[in-house]
Amino acid sequence: MKIPALALIAVLFHSALFAGETPLAIDTSHSHIEAIITSAMENFTANLTAYDTIISVDPVEKRVGSAVLKFRFADIKTGNEKRDSTMRAWQQTDQFPECVYVLDALLPAGGGSFKARGKFILHGITKDLTIPVTISFANTDTCMIDGDVALDTTAFGLPPIRQYVLLKVNPTLQVKFHLEGRVQADLLPELK
């Protein structure tokens, strides 16, 4: 029997939590992940409409212990189906349907900000990716993670997209996200 990769990661994740860490349940109604794309013809925003996360936090120490983000490239939507279809063909989504970010380390950067150092898989290619992030907690039950990073798609073997022969889409996207979630309190009886 095949076990889905995210389910296997979840099992390993829960068994590897450090003392004080507990899973963070992301509230998708208060969270968003988007990429801002610029070109000579137009600028537009692509929104990630579905994704899975496995994030551990220590609400007492107010820190993130580990994080995994997984999504299907087909769940990136711009509001224009023709453009979305072109993006899926460009990224070869049938061959490389999933993208994954795995946090390796969270390094203090001063002033309450951090550098999230990890690995990102796009178009079947894994690259190191460091994302400047801020992390804040409201009480001991809500965590907010905000980030903003430039992502050069050519580093993942993707060619620049050309429009009308001479014009091209900037291959560097600006990815911005806000993840907000609640500590799974049932796993932390001392915080109830």
56 within domain boundaries: yes
192 within domain boundaries: no
Tokens standing for residue 49:
């409409």
**Which CATH number does the domain housing residue 112 bear?**
2.40.128.110
How many separate domains does the chain show?
Answer: 1
pLDDT of residue 41: 80
37 within domain boundaries: yes
119 within domain boundaries: yes
190 within domain boundaries: no
pLDDT of residue 164: 64
Q: The pTM is what?
A: 0.84
Residues in the chain with pLDDT values less than 70: 1-20, 163-166, 185-192
191 within domain boundaries: no
Residues near 88 by beta carbon (within 8 Å), at least 6 away in sequence: 73, 74, 94
135 within domain boundaries: yes
Instruction: Give percent above pLDDT 70 in the chain.
Output: 83
Domain membership of residue 46 as a residue range: 5-185
| AA identity, residue 67 | A
38 within domain boundaries: yes
Tell me the per-residue pLDDT of 2-41, one tens digit each, with 9 for 90 and over: 445 544 444 444 444 455 689 999 999 999 999 999 988 8
Instruction: Determine the Cα–Cα distance for residues 129 and 135; give it in Å rounded to an integer.
Output: 18
Q: What is the DSSP string of 46-95?
A: EEE---EEEEEEETTTTEEEEEEEEEEGGGEE-S-HHHHHHHHHHHTTTT
pLDDT of residue 34: 98
